[in-house]
Amino acid sequence: MSTPRNAPTCETSSTAGAAAFRGRRIKAAVIGTGAIARGSHLPALAELAEEGETEIVAAVDVDAAAVRAFCADGGVPYAYTDLDRMLREQRPDLVAICTPPALHREQSVTALRAGAWVWCEKPPVPTLADYDAVRAAEGADAGPYASIVFQHRFGSGARHVRGLIAQGALGRPLVAHCQTTWYRDAAYYAVPWRGRWGTEGGGPAMGHGIHQTDLLLDLLGPWSEVRAMAGRLVHDVETEDVSTALVRFGNGALATVVNSVLSPDEVSRIRIDCERATVELTHLYGHGNGDWHITPAPGVPAAELTAWRNFGPDVPSSHLAQLRELVASMRAGERPRSSGADGRTSLELVTALYKSAFTDTTVRSGEIGPGDPYYTALHGGAPGWAPPDDSRAPAAGGAPVADAREAGVSERSGQVPA
């Protein structure tokens, strides 16, 4: 099969820069056709397709019937059950990975080596070791790069508040609270890969609260140390179902971080008390300008407060908001936000939270690296937390076949007739 003239390849990954996409649509493929692919990725890609930015060329899933239905419903021309064959035949520029965490490393590396940029659902990968392996497969200069879906930091609200804090308009950040208190029942954890270190990576600190954690870090900047506790209070799972942490930031601010799947009154919340104002965001699974509130300290001039509260046109946080920026980065040949070191910081803090909770110690930024047991497993082998039989945990580079089949990409080859 001949290679299309503009198709990126592993030998010419630098062509993923601006010149590679000039004058044409970016070819996108979706890996895994479950709820997040249908509800978020496909609509975002379709919206940009209507605007002439993208073209959805293929989808991949282990379940032939599922991928065929996904393609029929979404107007996607080619359905596959084999990732390698899809990459070889369709040569996508961008791959959206919508499978469970244990599959993310292998699929991301495979796509990057084929010359495709990667947009991978959170949590990015189960461990820092996996994340660093994905980074090592990225292009050296203009891509391809792997970006993580952290859509809560995108949109007009987060952009406006980030600017106010960065410019010092609100004064120094002093105290913050980051809360993801959700509710998940036993049926939720009946899905075989959930609640297990080897296939989900972690509990709510990893799989649920990481969105708000990432947004907090995006607003406040680098963290310096964390002290945490975790518990398994209700669910029959390997991981925790609740955690709390105290985090110190490089700028001196202190924050509490609470993650739970035990909370009937569900809410996602960030509150930052600065010298001149309190900023608070309250929502559940996504936010717009109206979900942000700014309360001034005494003495703040009314005109200044009015300017602070002017968020401009409302662009809600969403996959679409992040995808727009990612596509712009691809066309510019630039590393996108939520990739590389920027995408790693949230996973590092979550990893440190687990280490602190399971070792009863304060963990500092940069402390966890090769040789540390928490670098390769978030349970760190801790008694009472490490699974007694870890034989089903994914080896470096992949997931067990059973979990892969539950998740969405199979070992068997073949294109499914559309």
Per DSSP, the residues of 343-400 read HHHHHHHHHHHHHHHHHTS-EETT---TTSHHHH-TTTT-TTTS-S--TTSPPTT---
Beta strands in 132-222 (DSSP E): 146-148, 173-183
Let me know: does 59 contact 27? Beta carbons within 8 Å: no
Residue 300 pLDDT > 60, yes or no?
yes
The per-residue pLDDT for range 362-391, each reduced to its tens digit, is 999 999 999 999 999 999 999 999 998 654
Rounded to 10 degrees, the C-alpha dihedral 135/138/140/145 comes to: -100
Residue 294 pLDDT > 60, yes or no?
yes
Query: Counting runs of H as helices and runs of E as strands, what totals does the chain give?
Result: 16, 15
**What value does the mean pLDDT take over residues 140-153?**
95
Percent of the chain with pLDDT over 90: 86
Residue 124 pLDDT > 60, yes or no?
yes
Beta-strand pair 117-120/146-148: parallel
**What value does the mean pLDDT take over residues 406-413?**
34
Instruction: Put residue 163 in one of left, alpha, beta given phi > 0 → left and psi -120 to 50 → alpha.
Output: alpha
* Contacts for 135 with CB less than 8 Å, ≥ 6 apart: 146, 340, 344
How far is Cα 76 from Cα 57, in angstroms, rounded to an integer? 6
Residue 346 pLDDT > 90, yes or no?
yes
373 or 13: which leads in pLDDT: 373
- Give residue 117's pLDDT: 98
Residue 310 pLDDT > 70, yes or no?
yes
**What value does the mean pLDDT take over residues 135-158?**
96
How far is Cα 205 from Cα 238, in angstroms, rounded to an integer? 13
**What value does the mean pLDDT take over residues 98-118?**
97
- Give residue 20's pLDDT: 84
Residue 287 pLDDT > 70, yes or no?
yes
Which residues on neighbouring strands pair with residue 274, listed in sequence order?
Answer: 173
**What value does the mean pLDDT take over residues 271-293?**
98
- Count Cβ atoms within 10 A of the Cβ of residue 286 and give its class: 0-12 exposed, 13-18 middle, 19 or more buried: middle
The per-residue pLDDT for range 53-67, each reduced to its tens digit, is 999 999 999 999 999
Let me know: does 208 contact 259? Beta carbons within 8 Å: yes
How far is Cα 212 from Cα 349, in angstroms, rounded to an integer? 12
- Per-chain mean pLDDT for the chain: 90
- Give residue 416's pLDDT: 54
Percent of the chain with pLDDT over 70: 89
pLDDT interval class at 18 (50, 70, 90): low
How many C-alpha atoms does 304 have within 13 Å on its Cβ side?
14
pLDDT interval class at 408 (50, 70, 90): very low
Let me know: does 81 contact 414? Beta carbons within 8 Å: yes
How many C-alpha atoms does 116 have within 13 Å on its Cβ side?
29
- Give residue 239's pLDDT: 98
- Give residue 417's pLDDT: 44
How far is Cα 106 from Cα 89, in angstroms, rounded to an integer? 19
141 or 49: which leads in pLDDT: 49
Range scoring the smallest mean pLDDT among 112-121, 256-265, 301-310, 388-397: 388-397
Rounded to 10 degrees, the C-alpha dihedral 192/197/198/204 comes to: 70
Residue 11 pLDDT > 80, yes or no?
no
The per-residue pLDDT for range 214-248, each reduced to its tens digit, is 999 999 999 999 999 999 999 999 999 999 999 99
